[in-house]
Structure formats: C-alpha cells, structure tokens
Structure 1
Amino acid sequence: MKISIGDRIRALREFRDITQDQLAERAEVSVDTIRKLEQGVRESARINTLRALARALDVQLERLVGQPTVTKELTPDGGLLAMRDAIQDPGSLPGVLGYVDLEDPPSPAEWASQVQAATDTYWAGGYSELAAVLPQLLRDGRATARQHDTEGVWRDLALTYQLAASLSTQSGHPDWAYTAVERQLAAAARASDPLLEGMGVSTLSWVLLRQGRWEQARDVAERKADQLEPPRRRATPDQLAVYGNLLIAAATPAARADQHDDAMELLTHAESAAVQSGPVRAYGSAFSVTDVRTQRVNVALAGTDGMPDAALDAAANVDLSSISRPVHSASYRVDVAQAKYQTGDQAGALELLLEVEAEQPQWIRVQAGAAATVREMLEAERRRNGALRGLASRLGVDPAL
C-alpha cells in the first residue's frame, strides 16, 4: 500500500494533537494546501512548502517526503550498519571494557594516507566504496591512537569521524551523525587544534540542520565563527577557510528560517574571507569564492518564500568549471535545476537532473531535495514523460496518481 505525503502529514499532525488550521499557522502555508494533501487531492507540494511543514511538525524533510535511507543499499554486506556499529562502539566508551587489538594497527603515516584516500572518495561521490571501508578505518584509527598518542593521529581520527558524520547524514541517519560529531570534537580536542574544532562545529551545524533544528544550527556555527574570526592582516589561509565555512554553515539555516538578509550578510563576509584566502583545501573540506557563490544559489531557494529568479541570477556568477569537488558540483546543479523548474523551465531542469544522475548515481539517490523536485515535476506533468518517470523510479519517487 502506497503511503503518500498527505498520509504522513496527517499522522504526524494527529500525533502532535494539532488541527489543520494550527499546522497551517505554524508553517505559514495555506490550510487549503494541507487539506488537499491529506485528502489525496494533491500528491505533493513545492519543496519550500514541504520544508515549512517539516519544520512545523518537527521532523526531517526526508521523513516527510518518504525518502528512504540507504542502510541496506550502499554495500552488499550489511550496508551502513557496520559503520553505525563502528561509530557507536560500546568498547570506546569510558568504563566499558574494550576489545584487545588482534593485529598491529597501521603506522600513523600509513593510516593518514588511508584517511586522505577516504576523504577523496567521499568528495568524488563514491559512497558505496566509502561505506565499505569506513568501519575498519575507524577501528584502525582508534587502535593507532592507543599506540601512538600524538596530536597528528588524533587530528586524522577527528577527520575520519567527520567523514562518518557526513556519510551518515547524507544517507539519512543524522542521529548516527550526531554521535560521530561528538567523537570528532573529542578527537579534535586531543589534537589541540582550534581550527579542527571549528570544522567539527561546522559539521555539527549541518547535522542539526538535517534534524530540523535550524535555530541551533545557525547559533552554534555563528558563535564559533565569532570565536575563530582571524585578524585579517595576519590571517592564514586555513584560518580564513574554517571561518568562512562556519559562516556558510550559519547562512543556510538562517535562510531556511526566512532570514534571507542575515543569510546574505553572512555569505558576504564569507566571500570576503575567500577573496583573501584564495582557494583552500583544509580539514577535509574546500573553500573558495566559487564555494561561497554556489551557496548564494542555495540560500535564495531556501525558506517558505524561495526566490528562484534570484537563484538563477546568482548562478550566473558561478564558474562551474572551478568547482573542485564532484559532489559539490552535483549539489549546486540540483539547486539550479530546482530554480529552473520553479521559473517554468521544466525541460532544462530535467536535463540538468539527468546529467547529475549520470555523473553521481549514488549521491543523487539520497538527496531529498532532488526527490522533492522530481515529485513536484511529476505532479505538474501534462503529458507522459518517459525520461522523467524513469528518473523518478530510480530515485524511489512514485509517479503521481
């Protein structure tokens, strides 16, 4: 039996004991929209409406739209469950007897090389490959840290937990990601590296955002950015990169909360830092003027009153060829596709989504935003479009009835 978005809205609303009128008021959407969704008259709604409803119902967007997690799909031998067990390893908790290492762990240099390879795999979109290696990488990292208690080893362990948090979030498991961020921040403290802690807070902000905790997501990132704001004349590229990433992290939840002026101001400061730093790769992430400009597109689409025209104007200032990370390029193009569809260019939107799918088939399957846009396109479909329906099927989106 198919469970529709309207079914989920009704169940979540009734669980919270609120009326359709109360939900409409909280979400600032039309009560008629809610009625039509719950009655099955409409199969979906605009993504900004869905985000507002998810926020009002205190759930993740993925849960509202029914986007499946990929626990059993990413690897054939247990999926992400092995990574969950590695993140939430009881033996790593204080007071719990852990397991004795049966083999010698890799040397710090060897393990650091493996962490870098895993980071490259993540940004290339190789989620299946990464899900297969991360559990052992985490175990090896903890074993290496037990034998080599150095700041460098703890730094690499923090970066490994950052990868685990990012992959868990992308695949629909933000609760696992929260635990991974806790471990990431603890390792960063052992590394005595404030900038590494800053990247941990940036990751935490993203996890909170995916949990629907927008105010906290902005607050933790903005306060950490204020703490780490470097003296501009003496700032290093790494300092500027971490500071800028925190500002970007704060801008996204600000826009989701319809605080677009605040979000754009944060991005203006981030772009200023990027101009000074130049392109930087640091702490498992990248930072550049282009990275900031792609976020202007995302921010323009966020909130209950998305601005697709402004998003396309912002996209005109983005040099796609200068985006160094394949996954980042894919995310940006999904945003552009959404803006194209919302401005009436359905053919252009579909072409772009199919292009992204061809390049990043694993990544796009776990993107709720892409699925929501495709579902919206299906509902507006006037003539049967085989390419659109094929994409919908591969993303797990049922055609509108």
Structure 2
Amino acid sequence: MPQWSEYTDGERIKILRGMETRQSDLAEMTGLSLQTIQQAEQGKRLTLRTLIRIADALGVDTSVVLGQQAPRRSMQRDDRAMVRDLSRTVHDTAAGLLDITDPPALEELREASKACWDTYWRGSYMEAGALARPLLEQAAARLHDQPADEQAEAWGLLADAYRLAAYVANLIGSRDLAYAAIGHAQHAAEQAADDVRRALVMSGRSWVYLRDTRLADALTLAERAATDIEPKFSTATMEQLVAYGSHVNFAAVVASRMEDKERAADYLSQSHATGARMGQEYRAHGTVFGPVSATTQAVGINVALGETGKALSLIGDIKPVHERVLSGAARNRYAMDKALAQADAKLWDASLETLEGALLAAPQWARHQVLPSVIVSRVATGSTTRLRRVVELIGTASSTGGFPPATPRNAL
C-alpha cells in the first residue's frame, strides 16, 4: 500500500472525499463548480483558493491534501471536522475569546460534565469530543461571570472539560491538541486549588507522554500523581480512593511498558488494595475505579510484562457478572487484553472468539484501536472462517474513513 505522500494531490482529495460524498456534494460544500472539483481530482488544476476551500470542506489541514501530513487514522470527514472545531475551541477559550452571554449555572454545568464523561466512558469518543466543545465554551463563560471569590468550582469544571478534550485528542492521535488541552487543564486545576484534580491532570499528562513514547517522563509523572494524593485508607472518601486507585494502576501500566516487573508489581498490589477497600466500582471527576477495574486492568499489565500465566489466572476469576459493572470502554479494553493473553497462550480459537465478540459489540470504539491487528498478527492458526471474519471486521473498522490507515506512532 502506498504511503500517503506517494499519492497525487487529486488522489488524496478523492480518498478524503470518500464514498459517502459525491463530487457534486463537494462542489456544493465548497462553493466551487463541479468542473473545478473534477479538475482538482484529475490533477489538472489545483489553485490555492481551491485547495483552501476543499481542505476546509473535508475538515483537514491543507498539508494533508498536499501529502505533507497523513490524515488521522480511521476518521471520517465529520470526525475530522469535529477535531478541528474542538481544537479551535480549546485555543479560543484559553485565549478568552467567548461569545456566550448567558452561561448555565454551576449545577447545570456539573450535570453536563457528567453526561460528557459518561459518553466518553461508553467508548463513544467522537461524540464525547463533539460534546466537549460546548462544555468548554460554557464552563469558560461561567468562570468569566463568576464573582472573583467564588471561582474555584468553575475553574475545576473547566479543568475537567480541558482534560476531556485532551483524552479524546490523545486517543485519536491528535497529539498537539492533547498537549495543548492538558496544559490548559493543568492551569485551571491549579486555579481551582483542588489536589485531586491536579493529580488527575498530572496523570492525564502522563498518559499523553506514554502515547508519545516518552516512557521515563510518563512514569515520573504517574508516580508523582499517585504520591501526591495517597490517602489514609481509614479516613479516605470514595472520591479520593477512585483518584488514588486509578493513579497507581496507571503507574503500573507505565512501569509494565518499561518492563520494570518489580515496580509494576508494587503498584498493582496497591491498586488491588485500593479496589478491595472500595468494595465496588465508583465514578468521580470523570474517572472510574474499583475492585473489578483493578483486576481487569491487571490483565493487560501482566500481558505487557509477558506474564501470560498470571493474566490467564486473573481472567479465570473474572465472571460475566463482574464485567457488567464496567464502563463500555473498560469492558472493550478488557476484551482486547483477554484476546491478547489467549493469543500469547496459543489459545487461538478462543482469542479469535473473544476478539470477534468485541469487534461486533463495539465497532465504533474499535475504529480507534490498534490492538485488534496486533492480536490477529499473533494468531498463527485457528478457525479459518472466524479468522477471515475478524480480518474483515478489522478492515471495515480501519477503513471507515475512506482512506488507508496511517501507521500509528506506537502501539501503546
């Protein structure tokens, strides 16, 4: 398959347009004539004016059309437009450019924030990104209207909104936007003087570093985030335990990527202890944690460490009734880790069955994952029919955007 830069400008426009948009549709979207669109796709004539209008209509930078930058993996035109809108909102709100004159009350904002995070944890990342844009605008406007001595909660809600934007951007590989949004979240959390939110933002930045393969930096921040909010179990609130448990668990994830078994095991022990203390799954500040989360996430950590036996032992202890208490995104991720552990154990038919079930249950979520392809590459033998079905499902998910998937920067 050719690299993105190897296509002609016209071919790239046609690929970005996709099957769902006709040339006549693109002409109407750009205000250009059908003949101009046809000439552009034939490589006969692409003026600067035409280039700018087409790029804007397709929701991409002009550098993507010109082949200087690959399009985002597995993103449809509407998805790309969402990312551009979210990016503009992140930068505009940080610059104080507001046009909302009647912002909602804090209680309404709290409910809106919870709804946005619920969407995110269902695994509907593009919808969460679309919701994050008005949430950011409204939170920034509320902050602007709050009396100076009553701004702490508004700053906290703004920090949560920026963190949501950073999470969505990080998942879809928009790394520059992720860095910008998490930076603004950090500033807002500092203004809120909220230790838990500061730690959540720090852990979020650690995750951005992890996806950017800055492993040492990621581990340093993850450990700081966990240490800064380590509670006394005898007096800790559920909110504090959620934050601490998720933080030590993520520190274990980063340690496992660095192949530091001793450190990962230590953090896993603390994660399990926190989950046991909680006794149930709990959600706070856009984060979910509890005993089931601790166990299911330990599966992926042990797989990363090459401890396939431990991973399978944990899988044996997790029953369907346990999985049902997880959020959609967490349940889908656990299915990927389970399939990967089964593949490593040469339980190829079981691995394909688990993977196929996850792909069928959450096709939109799967669009933004690289693990399905990794799992298939490890399945040496198995049901030829099921393997074919899984490969077709992965192909459908990764090609939804109408263009060949760009090679991800890493598979973490």
Matched, 1:310 2:310: yes
3-state SS in 1 of match to 2:283: strand
Task: Mark the runs of 5 or more structure 2 residues left unpaired by the alignment.
Answer: 5-69, 405-412
Q: For 1:269-292, what per-residue CA distance to the aligned partner results, in whole angstroms no more than 9, with x for missing partners?
A: 121122223332111111111111
Q: 2:143 aligns with which of 130, 142, 145?
A: 145
Q: 1:388 aligns with which of 384, 387, 390?
A: 390
CA displacement at 1:213 relative to structure 2:
1.1
3-state SS in 2 of match to 1:105: coil
Task: Mark the runs of 5 or more structure 1 residues left unpaired by the alignment.
Answer: 5-65
Could you say which residue in structure 2 is the equivalent of 1:81?
84
3-state SS in 2 of match to 1:270: helix
CA displacement at 1:383 relative to structure 2:
4.8
3-state SS in 2 of match to 1:286: strand
Could you say which residue in structure 1 is the equivalent of 2:337?
335
CA displacement at 1:299 relative to structure 2:
0.9
Write out aligned runs for 1:181-330 (5 A).
181-279=182-280, 280-303=282-305, 306-322=306-322, 323-330=325-332
3-state SS in 1 of match to 2:110: helix
CA displacement at 1:366 relative to structure 2:
0.6
Confirm or deny: 8 A CA contact 1:111 1:141 kept in the other structure: yes
Could you say which residue in structure 1 is the equivalent of 2:179?
178
Bigger CA radius of gyration: 2
CA displacement at 1:71 relative to structure 2:
4.8
Cα separation, 2, equivalents of 1:242 and 1:234? 15
CA displacement at 1:197 relative to structure 2:
1.0
CA displacement at 1:297 relative to structure 2:
0.7
3-state SS in 2 of match to 1:232: coil
CA displacement at 1:381 relative to structure 2:
7.6
Q: For 1:310-368, what per-residue CA distance to the aligned partner results, in whole angstroms no more than 9, with x for missing partners?
A: 21112222344333211101001100001111212222222212211222211111112
3-state SS in 1 of match to 2:81: coil
Could you say which residue in structure 1 is the equivalent of 2:99?
101
CA RMSD of aligned residues (A): 2.6
Normalised to the residue count of structure 1, the TM-score between the two structures is 0.75
Q: 1:362 aligns with which of 334, 342, 364?
A: 364
The 1:147–1:241 alpha-carbon spacing in structure 2 relative to 1, beyond 3 Å, is: same
Q: For 1:172-223, what per-residue CA distance to the aligned partner results, in whole angstroms no more than 9, with x for missing partners?
A: 1233212211111211122221011111112122111111111111111112
Confirm or deny: 8 A CA contact 1:298 1:332 kept in the other structure: yes
Q: Aligned AA for 1:124?
A: R
CA displacement at 1:253 relative to structure 2:
1.2
3-state SS in 2 of match to 1:101: coil
Confirm or deny: 8 A CA contact 1:330 1:360 kept in the other structure: yes
Cα separation, 2, equivalents of 1:178 and 1:246? 19
Cα separation, 1, equivalents of 2:260 and 2:313? 19
Q: Aligned residue pairs: how many?
A: 329
Write out aligned runs for 1:112-151 (5 A).
112-148=110-146, 150-151=151-152
The 1:371–1:80 alpha-carbon spacing in structure 2 relative to 1, beyond 3 Å, is: farther
Q: Aligned AA for 1:203?
A: G
3-state SS in 2 of match to 1:78: helix
Cα separation, 2, equivalents of 1:324 and 1:382? 30
Q: 2:350 aligns with which of 344, 348, 351?
A: 348
Q: Aligned AA for 2:111?
A: S
Confirm or deny: 8 A CA contact 2:162 2:182 kept in the other structure: yes
Give aligned-pair identity as a percent: 27
Confirm or deny: 8 A CA contact 2:363 2:397 kept in the other structure: no
The 1:245–1:382 alpha-carbon spacing in structure 2 relative to 1, beyond 3 Å, is: closer
CA displacement at 1:67 relative to structure 2:
10
Q: For 1:214-239, what per-residue CA distance to the aligned partner results, in whole angstroms no more than 9, with x for missing partners?
A: 11111111122222211232222222
The 1:230–1:102 alpha-carbon spacing in structure 2 relative to 1, beyond 3 Å, is: closer
Higher mean C-alpha displacement, 389-398 vs 141-150? 389-398
Cα separation, 1, equivalents of 2:300 and 2:291? 15
Cα separation, 2, equivalents of 1:141 and 1:261? 42
Cα separation, 2, equivalents of 1:317 and 1:164? 35
3-state SS in 1 of match to 2:317: coil
Could you say which residue in structure 2 is the equivalent of 1:159?
160
Cα separation, 2, equivalents of 1:199 and 1:329? 21
